[in-house]
Structure 1
Amino acid sequence: MTAIDRLSRNRVEVACDVDIEQSPESLHAYAVPDGIDIRPGDTVIVHADRISVGFGEHIAYRCPATVLRAGPIARAWTQLAGLFELTELYEVGFMPKETP
């Protein structure tokens, strides 16, 4: 992130729920800011120490976070880029099998 990005974005300080699990049932890491909707292009920075979760472990905790709101141009660009990424999934997921 450049200095211009830092100046042009709105910053919102919030509490955040962090949920990390590494097990046979699930491999995930979620950071959910409280009381704020995350929109396309927004960035969430979690202010916590680095966590290492071993196999079979699950950790959930609360910590502070900063939400950097995207401006209108960045938001529009993110939505447009997301459409192209979605069509790439269609292309890969539904390709016919090649026969030898």
Structure 2
Amino acid sequence: MNRHLQTPCTIEVEHSDESLHAHVALDGDPDIRPGDQVLVHGDPIHVAFGQRRTFRRFATVRRASPLERLWTKVTARFELSELYDVSFTPRRSL
């Protein structure tokens, strides 16, 4: 299995009163799963206040191994519990 995929991508960056965000859309809409990493290549992007700009770049997707995928799912569950003060209590058998 090839653990690396290179693909073109579109980056949308907004820096305004309403929003400060950067979104990356990978061409071909590859399946990104827990633990996968996306690295966008190219020079740093600078967007002045009040602007919204779109860029084209290349990105490399590194697929997580089965162990990395499991670890990501486990740690994400606990991070959410800390963020939202949620407790996970095992069910008792009846």
Q: Per the shorter chain, which TM-score range?
A: 0.7 to 0.9
- Select the structure that is richer in helix: 1
Query: Which sections of structure 2, spanning at least 5 residues, go unmatched?
Result: 87-94
TM-score by length of 1: 0.78
Query: For 2:85, which of 62, 75, 91 is the aligned residue?
Result: 91
1:17 deviates by: 1.1
Name the residue aligned to 1:95.
none
* % identity of equivalent residues: 49
SS, match of residue 70 in structure 2: helix
> 1: CA distance between counterparts of 2:79 and 2:22?
22
TM-score by length of 2: 0.82
> 2: CA distance between counterparts of 1:53 and 1:61?
11
Return the letter of the residue paired with 1:12.
L
Query: Number of residues paired by the alignment?
Result: 84
User: Is 1:26 aligned to residue 19 of structure 2?
Assistant: yes
Name the residue aligned to 2:89.
none
Query: For 1:60, which of 54, 60, 76 is the aligned residue?
Result: 54
Give RMSD over aligned pairs.
1.5
Return the letter of the residue paired with 2:19.
S
Name the residue aligned to 2:92.
none
Query: Which sections of structure 1, spanning at least 5 residues, go unmatched?
Result: 1-8, 93-100
